Amino acid sequence: MAPKRPPSSKKTTDEPEARLDALAPTFELAAQIYAQLTKGEVPRMRLPLRTKQNIQFQLKEGVWRLGRSTGTRSARKLDGALMLLRTFYLVDFIHEMARDRKTSTLRELYYISEQWKDAKFHSEDESNLLIEDLEVLCTRLREDFRLHPEENGASVIGDLTIQETNRKGVVKKINCRDDVGDGGYALPFNVEKEKIKFNACGAKFVLAIECGGMVDRLAENGFDEDQDALLVHLKGQPARSTRRFLKRLNEELQLPVVVFTDGDPWSFRIFASVAYGAIKTAHISHYLATPGAEFLGVTASDIENYELPSDTLTEQDTKALHAMQSDPRFGTADWRSEIDLMLKNGKKAEQQSLAKYGLNYVTETYLPEKLGEMNVL
Amino acid sequence: MGRTATLAEQLASKQREISVAEFFERNRQILGFDNPQRALLTAVKESVDNALDACEEAGVLPDVSVEISKDESGPDRYRIVVSDNGPGILKRELPNVFGRLLYGSRFHAHRQSRGQQGIGISAAVLYAGLTTARPVKVTSRVEEEEAAHVLEILVDTQRNLPKVVSEALELWDRPHGTRVDLVLKAKYVRGRQSPLEYLRGTAIVNPHARLVLVEPDGTRITFERASSEVPPVSKEVLPHPYGLELGELNAILKQAKEKQLSEALPRRLAGVTPRALKEILAKAGLTGKEDPGTVHGPELESLLSALHSVTLLPPSAESLSPIGSVLIKRGLRNVLGELRPDFYAPPVSRPPKIRGGSPFLVEVGLVYGGSLPPDQPVQLLRFANRVPLLFQQGACAITAAVESVDWRRYGLDQRGGQGLPAGPCILLVHIASTRIPFTSESKEAVAEDPEILKELQLALQAVARHLKSHISRQIRREYASEKFTIIRRILPQIAEKSSHLVGKPVPDLTPVITEIMNVVTLETASPEKDTGLDVTITNYTPRARVLEVFAEMPSELAGQLAPVPPPDGVDVGLGRMWWTLPKLSPNGKTELRLRWPKGHDGDASDFDWYIAGVDESHLLGADALPGDWDVRLPRQVVEAAEAAELVGVVAPGTTEEPEVDYDGAEKAAELEEDD
């Protein structure tokens, strides 16, 4: 069963009233299966494959989206039959929540499935995957199904004033530099307009940072004030809400987004999920990815040029780099040479290795140099 | 010059004979007494081997008990008491059997037995004497005598002669038997190389023996006998000329009482027919009139080469005592039953072969599954002439043969297709021969003889093929049980939930069920109290079928069984019974009820099931009719099968295109968390 409407418009996601018809596509799913049963056909659903072989670059949006290859989830196999059954248990649960006006965290849903007997999930990965499948099948977001992640709390520091409608319905105006503690402003899982509005912004660009230690260093050195930067802590692989927030900053405030991570293959992937779109969420890349985001470092050449203290690549690192060579998102000449260089040198380095030259080096030398090269400063 | 002579004389004065006993005293490891732990096991093993040999020779079902206890007369001392119900040993033989090395009845005999050299038990006595200065106490009663003789014996190491310390008569409640009581420096352990493991192995390959072990802490372990047949006594045969060496031939001719060589050769050697005799004499350039005792030198050599080159009758296998496939299985089941293996491969007992003039044969058994650990190397149980081999596994031909088989082809894990395979499996390998080429006198490992290796490989491969078909049957069963789970549990719920969502009644699932299954199944179940067997045949194909079901069973059962419905035909001689089932529509089923006749306890494994009327690729739980059964199927079965096939032909292009299994497809392997 191919998705009927490619989720290209922002309508379904940006406007809360769209959620009213969130349940409609679930009835369609049931109707399809019912039709197959009455025709004596083995129940099945067709889904686009979420693999790196099946993502395609969308010129219009500048992001990587799901391609046309599909797979079949069929009741011929036990795994397929169980996933079909789970889909209907999940749909039942979604209907129940809609009726009772409740929401549930992803983790709660996993535990709810304890009541599903044969259909209970074996791991949270399994339940999260099925929710993504349902997003794809129904061209809706999980929030439309009243399912959301736990509060992630990725933090923001810098001169941005936002207007948040908090859980009590009170509208709060918060400046992310002056009204917050050292921890910064913590992002809620919902960063849509109905929850967060941008009020005023003095920052000139966004610096998205992988590690908390580096965020703290820049804040302590006053980098946000000195350079008019908005610091966003990515917390490793960034959550959907963090990516969505970056996209909104970029699109609505026209702020350049620069990504600053460790220099290793996993960090390159963090950048890819911010700028190009992640494979797992390729069905909503247009909604999450920031095509204009740029990679600052640490690059493989930085390790050489700045003579940074490094570690030897592990077997997994090398494997990840080789896998990236066949990942279309890293198909550009720049990324190719970056990956080749890292493989050739066999070295990786952390952001914080810049401390080799003292605590101020990153803010006084490294970042100004790199941002200068990128014409951001 | 004079000085040298003096030195040579001095040296010469130190030269003297070394007795065999003295030699072994210094070289304990050769006989398996190199450390206290091993010494205990060797002493137990020698006593038990002797007991079993004696019982078998007398045609008695062995009842052997081994009691091991701590002896307080000194540190690290243990007492071993081994008693049997064998024929007993004559009083005049007792001193030599227990107190003299290289004294025995079997060394010269060409037949299979556990002990051969006559070293074992006397070496244990020697070792006991060396470490505790205590004599062995032997109690033995032969059937003809009223009382048992009790002798205490030591080995006089310098002269290799027994020294009887005391002797007495004692009343013994056993009609006959022998009891050996030894105190020696030893160490008791449990585990892989322990008396318990030795007895466990012995019990497997000697299912006719009842073995009892009492451990030092009082634990009593009994291996009950699983067979009440005494193995036939292996026959003593003449030495065969193939593989005979010069010295042996010389000795045989010297001892010959015949006047002429032409008389001596056929009587003293096996396989020498009159025709062969002529050929041998011609080739050796001898007349046959020679006095056997005087043939020597070049004559002897040419006689030997003639014996080796002429075609002779093969050595007789009567000198061998194989366990046999029935008893191997029974022994394994008896001893390993608690591990609940789910498969006992039909054991393979190879026909006898010749190696160096001696016959040998190889037997292999295998158990698989159950509570055996799935990821450990397979447990290899090695046996030579029904004696477990517990040491030097790495140096043994049996191990080499197991390692040379590519077990990956048969469903076990094996790194690189070499080495000991891994899996939930125990392998039993037995070599029987009148002369097993051990790597040393302690008889722990079999030398890597090419002939033996070849036979071992053939036997192992034969058993491995059974394993492979078991594993593929198991995979098929798992496949079937997966399908049953889908149609019985998952599909009905999918139907119920989707119907509920669309607000319509649940549709008939028959077409979907038959589409998913597309097989005819035969399932057997035992009714309450195991009074018989209920057989259910279900047509899970999308076509109506008329099926012919055949049961094959032991013929005595076929003669007595009165199933419901009654069969449409019975052949008692072949042990076959068959039914033409009523027409089964898709998803339709029918049942056959079998009840055991009085006095006969059957078992599902007594039956093999065959079904005609459906292609064998669509059969589960039964096989297609064997090709060599000349069976005429009823017309309705043939017609229904043809009709089903015609309907089954699908127009090209309408078959489902090969689809990627979404849930089996490689998922984004990246560690991209996304919450």
Alpha-carbon span B185 to B558, nearest angstrom:
61
Which of 339-358 (A) contact B at CB < 8 A?
Answer: none
Which of 284-313 (A) contact B at CB < 8 A?
Answer: none
Give yes or no for B657 touching A (CB within 8 A): no
Task: Please give, rounded to a whole number of angstroms, the shortest distance from the CA of A247 to a CA of chain B.
Answer: 16
Q: Is the ipTM of this complex over 0.90?
A: no
Contact B663 A128 (CB under 8 A): no
Give yes or no for B486 touching A (CB within 8 A): yes
> With contacts defined as CB-CB under 8 Å, which chain A residues touch B498?
30-31, 33-34, 37, 43, 88
CA B393 to chain centre: 16
Contact A52 B660 (CB under 8 A): no
**Is pLDDT of B317 > 80?**
no
**pLDDT grade, residue A277 (50/70/90)?**
very high
Domain with CATH 1.10.10.10 in chain A: 11-148
Parse chain B into domains and list their residue ranges.
Answer: 20-223, 246-314, 318-471, 513-648
Task: Please give, rounded to a whole number of angstroms, the shortest distance from the CA of A128 to a CA of chain B.
Answer: 9
Alpha-carbon span A256 to A272, nearest angstrom:
16
Q: Which residue among B507, B516, B664 places its CB closest to the CB of A75?
A: B516
Say if residue A215 is preceded by a cis peptide, omega within 30 of 0: no
Contact B665 A85 (CB under 8 A): no
Q: Tell me which CATH code domain A155-373 carries.
A: 3.40.1360.10
pLDDT at residue number A17: 43
Give yes or no for B544 touching A (CB within 8 A): no
Percent of residues, chain A, with pLDDT higher than 70: 95
Q: Which residue among B515, B662, B674 places its CB closest to the CB of A73?
A: B662
pLDDT at residue number B149: 92
Q: Pairing state of beta strands A155-157 and A185-186? A: antiparallel
**pLDDT grade, residue B297 (50/70/90)?**
confident
Among the ranges given (A9-13, B162-166, B322-326, B421-425), the one the predictor scored with the smallest mean pLDDT: A9-13
Which of 117-136 (A) contact B at CB < 8 A?
Answer: 118-119, 128-129
> With contacts defined as CB-CB under 8 Å, which chain A residues touch B515?
40-42
pLDDT at residue number A10: 39
pLDDT at residue number A295: 96
Domain with CATH 3.40.1360.10 in chain A: 155-373
Tell me which of 3.40.449.10, 1.10.10.10, 3.30.310.220, 3.30.230.10 is the CATH number of domain B318-471: 3.30.230.10
Q: Pairing state of beta strands B519-525 and B619-620? A: parallel
**pLDDT grade, residue B650 (50/70/90)?**
very low
> With contacts defined as CB-CB under 8 Å, which chain A residues touch B491?
43, 75, 81
pLDDT at residue number B117: 53
Task: Please give, rounded to a whole number of angstroms, the shortest distance from the CA of A227 to a CA of chain B.
Answer: 31
Interface test with A, best of B663, B667, B671, B673 (most A CBs within 10 A): B663
Give yes or no for A49 touching B (CB within 8 A): yes
**Is pLDDT of A234 > 70?**
yes
pLDDT at residue number A7: 40
pLDDT at residue number B529: 74
**Is pLDDT of B384 > 80?**
yes
- Reported as a single tens digit per residue, the pLDDT across B62-73 is 999 999 999 988
Helix (H, G, I), strand (E, B) or coil at B134: coil
pLDDT at residue number B18: 64
Contact B673 A237 (CB under 8 A): yes
Yes or no: domain B246-314 corresponds to CATH 1.10.287: no
Contact A30 B509 (CB under 8 A): no
Task: Please give, rounded to a whole number of angstroms, the shortest distance from the CA of A70 to a CA of chain B.
Answer: 7
**Is pLDDT of A345 > 70?**
yes
Interface test with A, best of B483, B497, B587 (most A CBs within 10 A): B497
Contact B491 A80 (CB under 8 A): no
> With contacts defined as CB-CB under 8 Å, which chain A residues touch B673?
236-237, 239
Contacts of B338 (CB under 8 A, 6+ apart): none
Q: Which residue among B498, B516, B661 places its CB closest to the CB of A42?
A: B516
- Reported as a single tens digit per residue, the pLDDT across B494-535 is 999 999 999 999 999 999 999 999 899 998 888 877 788 999
Interface test with A, best of B490, B499, B655 (most A CBs within 10 A): B490
Mean pLDDT on A234-255 = 94
- Reported as a single tens digit per residue, the pLDDT across A37-67 is 999 999 999 999 888 888 888 888 888 899 9
**Is pLDDT of B538 > 80?**
yes
**pLDDT grade, residue B5 (50/70/90)?**
low
Q: Which two tokens stand for residue B458?
A: 């053939």
Q: For residue B646, how many C-alpha atoms fall within 13 Å in the half-sphere facing its CB?
A: 6
pLDDT at residue number A9: 38
Contact B661 A77 (CB under 8 A): yes
Catalytic residue among A34, A110, A111, A185: A111
**Is pLDDT of B108 > 60?**
no
Residue with tokens 């080159």, as numbered in its chain: B309
Q: Confirm whether A287 is a catalytic residue.
A: no
Task: Please give, rounded to a whole number of angstroms, the shortest distance from the CA of A153 to a CA of chain B.
Answer: 12
Mean pLDDT on B130-154 = 90
> With contacts defined as CB-CB under 8 Å, which chain B residues touch A268?
none
Contacts of B598 (CB under 8 A, 6+ apart): none
Q: Tell me which CATH code domain B513-648 carries.
A: 2.60.40
Contact A71 B512 (CB under 8 A): no
Helix (H, G, I), strand (E, B) or coil at B423: coil
**Is pLDDT of A357 > 50?**
yes
Mean pLDDT on A264-282 = 93
In degrees, rounded to 5, the angle at the alpha carbon of residue B295 between the alpha carbons of residues B292 and B297 is 160
> With contacts defined as CB-CB under 8 Å, which chain A residues touch B497?
30, 85, 88-89, 91-92
Contact A71 B660 (CB under 8 A): yes
> With contacts defined as CB-CB under 8 Å, which chain B residues touch A152?
675
**pLDDT grade, residue A157 (50/70/90)?**
very high
Residue B130, burial from CB neighbour count under 10 angstroms (0-12, 13-18, 19+): middle
Between A20 and B30, where is the model more confident?
A: B30
Q: Which two tokens stand for residue B329?
A: 């299985």
**Is pLDDT of A12 > 60?**
no
Between B417 and A312, where is the model more confident?
A: A312
> With contacts defined as CB-CB under 8 Å, which chain A residues touch B513?
none
> With contacts defined as CB-CB under 8 Å, which chain A residues touch B502?
27, 30-31, 34
**pLDDT grade, residue B644 (50/70/90)?**
confident
Distances (CA, A) of B485 to A160, B495, B538: 57, 15, 16
**Is pLDDT of A8 > 90?**
no
**Is pLDDT of B365 > 90?**
yes
Contacts of A146 (CB under 8 A, 6+ apart): A94, A97, A98, A102, A103, A104
Task: Please give, rounded to a whole number of angstroms, the shortest distance from the CA of B518 to a CA of chain A.
Answer: 11
Percent of residues, chain B, with pLDDT higher than 90: 35
Q: Which residue among A30, A47, A269 places its CB closest to the CB of B672?
A: A269
Q: Which DSSP state fits B440?
A: S
Q: Which DSSP state fits B584?
A: B
Mean of the per-residue pLDDT values for chain B? Answer: 85
pLDDT at residue number B190: 86
Between A219 and B331, where is the model more confident?
A: A219
Q: Which residue among A42, A150, A280 places its CB closest to the CB of B515?
A: A42
Phi, psi of B104 (to 5 degrees): -170, 170
pLDDT at residue number B646: 65
Q: Which residue among B489, B495, B663 places its CB closest to the CB of A73?
A: B663
Residue B627, burial from CB neighbour count under 10 angstroms (0-12, 13-18, 19+): exposed
Angle (deg, nearest 10), helices A124-138 and A78-100: 70
Which of 130-159 (B) contact A at CB < 8 A?
Answer: none
Residue of B nearest to A107 (CA): B675
Q: For residue B332, how many C-alpha atoms fall within 13 Å in the half-sphere facing its CB?
A: 28
Helix (H) or strand (E) holding B152: strand B148-156
Q: Which residue among A40, A51, A88 places its CB closest to the CB of B666?
A: A51
**Is pLDDT of A5 > 80?**
no
Helix (H) or strand (E) holding B467: helix B450-485
Tell me which of 1.10.10.10, 3.40.50.970, 1.10.3720.10, 3.10.310.70 is the CATH number of domain A11-148: 1.10.10.10
Task: Please give, rounded to a whole number of angstroms, the shortest distance from the CA of B491 to a CA of chain A.
Answer: 7
Among the ranges given (A269-278, B90-99, B100-109, B239-248), the one the predictor scored with the smallest mean pLDDT: B100-109
pLDDT at residue number B246: 83
Mean pLDDT on A232-256 = 94
Q: Which residue among B489, B661, B672 places its CB closest to the CB of A280?
A: B672
Q: Tell me which CATH code domain B20-223 carries.
A: 3.30.565.10
Alpha-carbon span A82 to A126, nearest angstrom:
11
